[in-house]
Amino acid sequence: MTATIVNEQLIKQAIADRRFLHQYPELSGQEYETGKFIRKRLQALNIEILNEQPPSVIGFIKGTAGEKTIALRADIDALPITEEGDKPYISRFPGVAHMCGHDGHTAVLLAAAEWLANHRSEVQPNVVLIFQSAEEITPSGAETLVKQGVLDGVDTIFGLHLWQGLEKGKMGLVHGPMMASIDDFEITIKGYGGHGSMPHETVDPIYVATHVIQSLQSIVSRKLNPIEAGVISVGKIEAGTTHNIIPSTAKLIGTLRALTPQAVQTIKQQMVQLATGVCQAFGAKAEVEFIVGTPPLVNDLKESQFVESVIRRSFGDEKFTAVAPVMGGEDFSYYLQQKPGAFVFVGMGGEKSAYPHHHPRFDIDEDVLPDAIKLLIEIVRQYN
């Protein structure tokens, strides 16, 4: 097997693509121009385009062996943020900007697609190229594509994130749970309202709410296995109108995160039990509603070990680093619920990428694009 050459022309093109996409960002679910741009590029490379719903674009490259099918995924959406700074390729649309680096992911997958299309004789597995809309919102683009059958016939799937939290020059992943679930909740506490001077004739839902909040914070410390991670945060309390009225209801609004499906389930069960029980103890009633978001991202052990071996073989042992799980979410998890696969961080933290993801001054470090491109190509070449 010859070494993959990610040549100058391919790198130049990737940088140009990412700067173009950066200047014309589109919000989640509205990436129609971005989709057209991708489609045109794939067509120019004679890559078959599968019939999935826009704005996502799915390409297909038939392999020489064609026994296995690998999917590679890039997300293509931007965020509702006004970009700050003075870079020449700054977003031209106020209020919309690529502040998570998905412009880079799109450019990297386009470059990998170009290499694969131009070296078809070296590509053994079939390759499905998923340019996915709407990573940043619920309902997520990944969930939609999975429902549409994008993974039918796919054996395994890989994706990457250019990652500011990992130092430039490193690549890494977790062999197992890597990113958290995102679910929101609303707890409505129904009491009995009345005059502020006559609490004995009421069931004060505000007072009850304080107990519910206290009890919720016992779940992570007392009910979750200490080696598992979880977060419950009440972000908003809605209740009451003025000084001397005890309202009849109070509402607690918040979010919960965990790294495994089991932990998510434990947290939810306990929340219902505690909210219901505490309210009942005070003569109130609780209604607990979950707004289900992204599941936890859990890498398949065999596939994540494969990615580690690809990194070590193609870049050297010093390139790979074991990373710690992060409590942020990522809708790549929907694919991993269906098929084995792995998600990997390509480190870029440093001087050129100094601000965190979603910060108005966030930027990717384009120096790491060649390695990201090479990683995807090598995953395809070394997969068997």
State the binding string over 74-113 for Ni ion (x if CB under 5 A, else -). --------------------------x-------------
CB-nearer residue toward Ni ion: 17 or 103: 103
Nearest to 372 by CA among 178, 4, 109, 9: 109
The radius of gyration of the chain's CA atoms, rounded to the nearest angstrom, is 24
Which two structure tokens, joined as six digits, stand for 180? 């958290």
Q: What is the nearest approach in angstroms of Ni ion to the Cβ of residue 49?
A: 24
Instruction: Say whether 135 is catalytic.
Output: yes
State the binding string over 119-148 for Ni ion (x if CB under 5 A, else -). ------------------------------
CA distance 101 to 35: 16
CB-nearer residue toward Ni ion: 100 or 348: 100
Q: What is the nearest approach in angstroms of Ni ion to the Cβ of residue 365?
A: 15
Tell whether residue 116 is a contact of Ni ion (CB under 5 A): no
State the binding string over 298-317 for Ni ion (x if CB under 5 A, else -). --------------------
CB-nearer residue toward Ni ion: 196 or 356: 356
Q: What is the nearest approach in angstroms of Ni ion to the Cβ of residue 142?
A: 12
CA 274 vs CA 38, 270, 278, 280, 335: distances in Å = 50, 6, 6, 10, 33
Is the CA virtual torsion 166, 57, 113, 142 positive or negative?
positive
Catalytic residue chosen out of the listed positions 17, 77, 308, 378: 77
CB-nearer residue toward Ni ion: 61 or 78: 78
CB-nearer residue toward Ni ion: 17 or 204: 17
Which two structure tokens, joined as six digits, stand for 158? 């890989």
Name the residue with the smallest CB distance to Ni ion: 100
- DSSP-H helix ranges across 89-238: 102-118, 141-147, 205-218
Q: What is the nearest approach in angstroms of Ni ion to the Cβ of residue 256?
A: 20
Size of the site for Ni ion (CB under 5 A): 1
CB-nearer residue toward Ni ion: 42 or 100: 100
The amino acid present at 227, given as its one-letter code, is I
Catalytic residue chosen out of the listed positions 17, 31, 103, 135: 135
Nearest to 166 by CA among 368, 317, 360: 368
Q: What is the nearest approach in angstroms of Ni ion to the Cβ of residue 177?
A: 18
DSSP H or E stretch at residue 71: strand 69-75
Q: What is the nearest approach in angstroms of Ni ion to the Cβ of residue 100?
A: 4
Instruction: Say whether 228 is catalytic.
Output: no
CB-nearer residue toward Ni ion: 100 or 344: 100
Q: What is the nearest approach in angstroms of Ni ion to the Cβ of residue 363?
A: 14
Residues labelled as active-site residues: 77, 135
Binding interface with Ni ion (CB under 5 A) = 100
